[in-house]
Homo-oligomer: A and B are copies of this chain.
Amino acid sequence: MGAAGAALGTDPSAKVTLVTSFQDAAYSPCGIPYVHGREISDFDKLFMATKQHYVDQGLDIRYETTATALDTGAKTVTLDTGEVLGYDSLVLATGFEYASLGVPGADNPSGLYYVKNIREAMEWDKVLDTARSAVVVEGGPLGTEMVTALAHRGIETHLVDSAAWAMSMATDPDIIKPVEDAWREMGVHLHYSTKLEAILRDSDGRLRGVATSDGEIAADLAVVATHKVANTALAKAAGIKLGMSGGIIVDAGMRTSAPDVFACGDVVEIPHGVSNVPIQGLSGSHAYAQGKVAGVRAAGGVRDYRPVYVPWGMVAGKSMLGGVSFSETLATALGIDYVAGVATGISRARYYPDVKPVTVKLLADPKSLRLIGAQLVGGEGIKERADFLAMCVRKGITVEDLATMENVYSPAIGALNEPIALAAQQTLANIAKARS
C-alpha cells in the first residue's frame, strides 16, 4: 500500500494494480497482539481505510488473488484467476512466512496460530476467550508481544525458546531481566534453552500440547512466532537474485536484478549500516519507508533508501524494551570489538508521580568511541531514545558526545540526569578503568 500510494503520488496518471491473497488491504497487523491482550478494544480499529477509499483513490486492488508466475522478459504477472497482467514497473512486496517448525505434528495447521491475517486473528480471538493455556514458540519480537498479550489476558502462557533468554538476537540478559521478572509475576512459564520436539495431538488431531527437550507442556494452542523467512518463491522462480540472508537483493532505489522490478519490505535484504551485513525481516516502519522508495521509483521518480541501523522497541512484560543495532551478545557473536556501559536513571524528577526507571546500555567502538549499539528497558521514552541513538550510530556520534549531552530537566517530563548521558559516562569510566 505504501508503494502504491507513492507511485500514484509521483505519477497521478499511473494505472496502479495491487494483487493480494488477503481479503483486506491496509490494516495494521502490528496491532493484532494488542487486541488479543485487550489493550485495543476492537479489530476494526486496525483498518486504515475502507475498501471504497482505495477505489476512490484510483487503486485497482485484486483481493484474494495470488500471483503465480512472473515473466520479467515479457513483463507479465500471471494470477491464479488465469488473468495475465502486463506491467511497465513491478513492485514485489510478498513479505515473509514464519520459519517452519519442522517437528512432527506441525503439518496439521489445527491449533497452530500464525499471527498475520486479521480475519484469522478475529477467529483466534474467539478461541482465546475459552483457552486456558498457550505455548508461544520463540521469543523474538512477535513472541515477546504475544507472551505479554496472552498473560495480560489471563491465559497460562508458556514461552519455549531454544535460546537462553528472550529477544536474544537483540538484547543481553541484564536488559531483558525486568521483562522476565514481570512475566513471572504475570504467571508466565519460561522454558529457555528448550527445543521444540513435537506438536502433540489427541486422537481427533486436536492440539493438546507440545513436546520439548524440557518435557511435555499441555496447551490449547501454540503461537508460532518463529523468525521471518523472506517469501521469495515468485521472485526466485523468475530468476531474480537473492542474497545471503535469503532476501531479494536490492540497490538504494529498491531495484532488483530484473529490469523495472522493484522490491520492498520483508522480502528484501538491506545492508546494516555498521557491519554491512545484509539483514532481512525488519519492522513495519522500515517496510513502509522501503515501499515509498519502491513506489516512487516504479513511477519514474527519484528516491533512495539507506543502510539501516534498526531502532526497535515494544511493550514487553510491564516495561518498554528497545534498542539499536548490536547487543553485547550479537557483537561478540559477530566478532565486533566494543566497549560497553550501562546505567539506570529515571524518566521524571524522582519525586514526580509515575516516575519510572530507564536503563540504558551503550556499545561503542573502542578506538573511535563511536556508538555502535544500544539497548533500553524502562517505563517511558524508550522509543524516542532508540530513535535518537539510531541517528547517533548512523552519524558517528561518540559516547564522549553523549556523556556531555544537554538534556531537558523539568519535573513532570524529565530528570536532572538523562539516562543516556549516565550510560555514556559509565562507558567512558569503563574505558578508563580498562586502560589503567
Contacts and interface: CB of A to CB of B under 8 A. Distances in A.
Nearest to A31: B411
B381 A383 contact: yes
A408 B283 contact: yes
Contacts of A411: 28, 30-31, 34, 40
A186 interface: no
A123 to B, nearest CB: 20
A111 interface: no
Contact of A410 (B46, B309, B314, B353): B314
Interface string A315-335: 100001010000000000000
A406 interface: yes
A308 interface: yes
A316 to B, nearest CB: 10
Give the one of A310, A386, A391 with max B CB within 10 A: A391
A222 interface: no
B349 A31 contact: yes
A406 B349 contact: no
Interface string A332-356: 0000000000000000010111000
Given A28-B349, A31-B352, A40-B353, A408 B315 contact: no
Q: How many copies does the complex hold?
A: 2
Contacts of A283: 408-410
Nearest to A412: B315
A390 interface: yes
Interface stretch (A75-83, A154-162, A171-179, A284-292): A284-292
A351 B28 contact: yes
Interface in A362-415: 381-388, 390-392, 394-395, 397, 401-402, 404-414
A192 to B, nearest CB: 23
Interface string A177-200: 000000000000000000000000
B39 A353 contact: yes
A397 B395 CA distance: 8
Nearest to A32: B411
Contacts of A284: 409, 416
A311 interface: yes
A418 interface: yes
Contacts of A45: 351
A313 interface: yes
Interface string A30-72: 1100100001100001100000000000000000000000000
A395 to B, nearest CB: 6
A427 to B, nearest CB: 16
A311 to B, nearest CB: 5
Nearest to A384: B384
A262 interface: no
B383 A414 contact: yes
A30 B351 CA distance: 11
A40 B409 contact: no
A31 B352 CA distance: 8
A283 B387 CA distance: 24
B397 A30 contact: no
B408 A387 contact: yes
Interface of A: 28, 30-31, 34, 39-40, 45-46, 283-286, 288-289, 306, 308-315, 320, 322, 349, 351-353, 381-388, 390-392, 394-395, 397, 401-402, 404-414, 416-418, 420
Given A315-B410, A387-B408, 15 more contacts: A30-B411, A34-B412, A285-B406, A285-B416, A312-B410, A314-B413, A315-B412, A384-B385, A384-B414, A386-B408, A387-B414, A387-B420, A388-B388, A388-B391, A391-B402
The 4 lowest CB-CB distance pairs between A and B, nearest first, are A384-B384, A285-B409, A388-B388, A45-B351
